[in-house]
Amino acid sequence: MRKITRIIIHCSATPAGRHFTVSDIDRCHRQRGFNSIGYHYVIYIDGSIHPGRPESQIGAHCKGYNADSIGICYIGGCDTAMRPADTRTPKQRKALIELVATLRLRYPDATVHGHYEFAAKACPSFNVEKEFPR
């Protein structure tokens, strides 16, 4: 099993309220040359958590940090004008808290990060350090 030291949170950079699925992300990632979806988990607008790439496999979600991380993506992250915005629904917020708690139990040495810490992006469009203190 891989040694996981980071949990990295992303957004799909889609407008608020737009339904987007694991299959949609998989298709986009394959078009970019990935062999499958790069995230390990995706949280839909309704708060349901869907598996992406198996945890045992290295992700393709954060260049330079994939080997030792788990990638989580929530659907949304942009307002209707495609500007970065925290568009998480209450159910998505709850699901993210629960998923991160579960992963922290599984990987007790892992720290939680926003994608913006490793790339010049607003992703995931909220302050991860404030919501998930280290």
Domain harbouring 49, CATH code = 3.40.80.10
pTM higher than 0.95 for the full model?
yes
Quote the CA–CA distance of 69 and 6 in Å, as a whole number: 5
pLDDT score at 90 = 98
- C-alpha–C-alpha distance, residues 67 and 100, integer Å: 18
User: Does residue 47 lie in a domain region?
Assistant: yes
Position 33 in a domain: yes
What pLDDT is attached to residue 134? 80
Confirm whether 88 is domain-assigned. Answer: yes
| Residue 79 contacts residue 16 (beta carbons within 8 Å) | yes
| pLDDT tens digit sequence for 28-60 | 999 999 999 999 999 999 999 999 999 999 999
Catalytic residues: 10, 39, 115, 121, 123
The ranges of the chain with pLDDT < 50 are none
Domain count, the chain: 1
pLDDT at position 60 is 97
CA dist 37 and 54 (Å) reads 10
In a domain, 84, yes or no: yes
pLDDT at 131: 95
Provide the residue range defining the domain that includes 49. Answer: 6-125
Within-domain flag for 134: no
For residues 72 and 100, the answer to whether their CB atoms sit within 8 Å is yes
User: Which two structure tokens, joined as six digits, stand for 98?
Assistant: 């629960």
Is 85 among the domain residues? yes
